């Protein structure tokens, strides 16, 4: 059991009795994430009381761990001076994330609480497109000049490093502020005091554009295994950095959205625990209705081949097996392709190689399932011909489903649509009715009906 679960009732009692000195002492050794979790567990009216007892820096850190809705609720319960302290202590990127989530009228009021220079900085960050690197970056970094000596650069780090998000990497700019290189702090410390920065800096830098998509930034950071990346404007001037922790938040959010999309659920955009039945209903019902309507195609195929079922009723027993196996196979294939496209492992140009590979895999899977189902049918006493129909049907359906599962995400991507959203419902529809068509066509040929 976590610490704040044990002390939650005690905390509430201290608040109730207004024993603020004991309350402050109780939480003085707690970590920011623990205090944030405790705040979330307290009644809404008690949260501002506890929050006001925190030192300014700790309060800002705790605030950054709260989800957007909890942040908004807490702000509504605080006074102007407390809010100003939070905003001033928050990192610029965390402050931007807060402003993005709040209603416009609240954001406007909060911006007016900031000092002029920080208000200008916040407005600058908010001016970039949604989901762009500009919204994610922080202007808190250390930059040095190429003509400086290492001794001067180290002194500069001592003076300004405490305000930076990271000092592992220092960024080298020219007289116009354009990014021309970077130098590791370790190289700076090991260099002789008179060594000029231009002699030890690395000019092979991987900079991001402020207008670049956040997902692209995540891929670049992963590719080059960096803890931070510089951000430049259209003229190549250094305007900020993006750090690993911010990128990880983006990756987690995007992965969650992709998983929800693959399941034919519109992204919730909030935690499941905070989503009410109404939101969950709206996010799921559209695709379920669409899939229900699409299933009429399968019904039409069954109706068209009803004479076959009337002649060999046992074929109806295996319809769920055929459709289920085809659907499972197609889902496996499409999920692998969607993820590979998302990570950059494959590109749209690789479609011929992808389809060829999936045909081979489909044949191997189809053979395995076909033999298994043939033996199951034959040993179940359904006869050699019916067993052959079922075995061959699942063989071809699995191959077909594997091909569709591979091609569909690629085709959708070329249309500049999100394959994670569209692939799953389309795949279910296509595999179901085409699988039935393949099944009954093979039955008609072999059974000569």
The verdict on residue 249 lying in a domain is no
CATH number at residue 390: 1.10.357.20
276 and 416 both lie in a single domain: yes
CA atoms of 25 and 310, how far apart (whole Å): 80
154 and 104 both lie in a single domain: no
Classify residue 348 by its DSSP letter.
G
CATH number at residue 20: 1.25.60.10
Please say which residue of 127, 152, 178 terminates a domain: 127
361 and 388 both lie in a single domain: yes
The verdict on residue 372 lying in a domain is yes
Residue 170 near residue 153 (C-beta atoms within 8 A): yes
Closest Cα partner for 362 from 396, 328, 408, 407?
Answer: 396
CATH number at residue 187: 3.10.580.10
107 and 151 both lie in a single domain: no
Residues 176-228: pLDDT tens digits?
Answer: 889 999 999 999 999 999 999 999 999 999 999 988 988 888 888 888 888 88
Please say which residue of 97, 127, 157 terminates a domain: 127
pTM of the complete model: 0.56
Calculate ∠ Cα 184-187-191, nearest 5°.
145
Task: Give the residues across from 241 on adjacent strands.
Answer: 138, 230
The verdict on residue 356 lying in a domain is yes
CA atoms of 75 and 37, how far apart (whole Å): 17
Confidence of residue 123 (pLDDT cuts 50, 70, 90): low
Domain, as residue range, for 198: 143-244
The verdict on residue 394 lying in a domain is yes
The verdict on residue 260 lying in a domain is no
The verdict on residue 325 lying in a domain is yes
184 and 78 both lie in a single domain: no
CA atoms of 38 and 11, how far apart (whole Å): 9
Report, as an integer, the average pLDDT of 120-133.
Answer: 77
Q: Is the pLDDT of residue 2 over 70?
A: no
442 and 312 both lie in a single domain: yes
285 and 372 both lie in a single domain: yes
Residue 148 near residue 196 (C-beta atoms within 8 A): yes
Residue 201 near residue 149 (C-beta atoms within 8 A): no
Residue with more model confidence, 120 or 308: 308
How many domains, in total, are found in the chain?
3
Residue with more model confidence, 356 or 82: 356
Surface-to-core class of residue 285, CB atoms within 10 Å of its CB (0-12 exposed, 13-18 middle, 19+ buried): exposed
Give me the residue label for tokens 């960096």: 226
113 and 166 both lie in a single domain: no
113 and 26 both lie in a single domain: yes
351 and 400 both lie in a single domain: yes
Residues 145-160: pLDDT tens digits?
Answer: 999 999 999 999 998 8
Closest Cα partner for 50 from 39, 65, 41, 40?
Answer: 39
294 and 387 both lie in a single domain: yes
229 and 313 both lie in a single domain: no
């Amino acid at each position: 059991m976590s610490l704040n679960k044990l002390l939650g009732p005690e905390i509430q009692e201290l608040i109730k009795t207004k024993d603020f000195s004991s309350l402050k002492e109780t939480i003085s050794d707690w970590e920011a994430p623990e205090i944030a979790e405790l705040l979330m567990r307290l009644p809404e009216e008690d949260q501002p009381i506890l929050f006001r007892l925190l030192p300014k820096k700790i309060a800002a850190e705790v605030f950054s761990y709260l989800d957007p809705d909890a942040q908004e609720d807490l702000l509504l319960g605080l006074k102007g001076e407390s809010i100003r302290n939070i905003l001033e202590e928050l990192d610029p990127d965390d402050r931007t994330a807060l402003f993005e989530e709040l209603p416009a009228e609240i954001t406007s009021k909060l911006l007016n609480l900031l000092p002029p220079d920080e208000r200008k900085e916040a407005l600058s960050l908010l001016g970039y497109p949604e989901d762009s690197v500009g919204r994610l970056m922080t202007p808190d970094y250390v930059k040095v000049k190429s003509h400086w000596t290492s001794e001067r650069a180290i002194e500069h780090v001592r003076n300004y490093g405490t305000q930076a998000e990271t000092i592992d990497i220092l960024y080298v700019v020219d007289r116009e502020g354009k990014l021309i290189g970077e130098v590791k702090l370790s190289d700076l410390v090991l260099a002789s005091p008179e060594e000029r920065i231009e002699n030890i800096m690395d000019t092979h830098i991987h900079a991001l554009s402020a207008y670049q998509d956040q997902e692209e930034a995540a891929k670049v950071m992963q590719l080059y295994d960096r803890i931070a990346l510089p951000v430049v404007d259209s003229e190549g001037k250094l305007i900020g950095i993006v750090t690993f922790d911010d990128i990880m938040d983006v990756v987690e959010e995007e992965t969650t959205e992709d998983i929800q999309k693959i399941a034919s659920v519109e992204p919730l955009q909030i935690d499941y625990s905070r989503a009410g039945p109404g939101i969950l209903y709206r996010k799921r019902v559209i695709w379920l209705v669409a899939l229900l309507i699409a299933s009429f195609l399968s019904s039409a195929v069954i109706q068209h081949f009803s004479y076959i079922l009337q002649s060999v009723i046992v074929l109806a027993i295996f319809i769920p097996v055929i459709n289920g196996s085809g659907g499972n196979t197609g889902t496996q294939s499409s999920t692998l392709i969607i993820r590979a496209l998302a990570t950059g492992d494959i590109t749209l140009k690789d479609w011929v190689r992808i389809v060829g590979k999936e045909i081979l895999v489909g044949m191997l899977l189809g053979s395995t399932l076909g033999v298994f189902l043939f033996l199951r049918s034959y040993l179940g006493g359904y006869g050699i011909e019916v067993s052959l129909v079922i075995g061959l049907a699942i063989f071809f359906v699995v191959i077909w489903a594997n091909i569709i599962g591979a091609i569909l995400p690629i085709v959708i991507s070329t249309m500049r649509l999100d394959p994670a959203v569209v692939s799953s419902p389309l795949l279910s529809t296509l595999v179901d009715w085409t699988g039935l068509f393949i099944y009954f066509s093979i039955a008609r040929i072999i059974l000569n009906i």
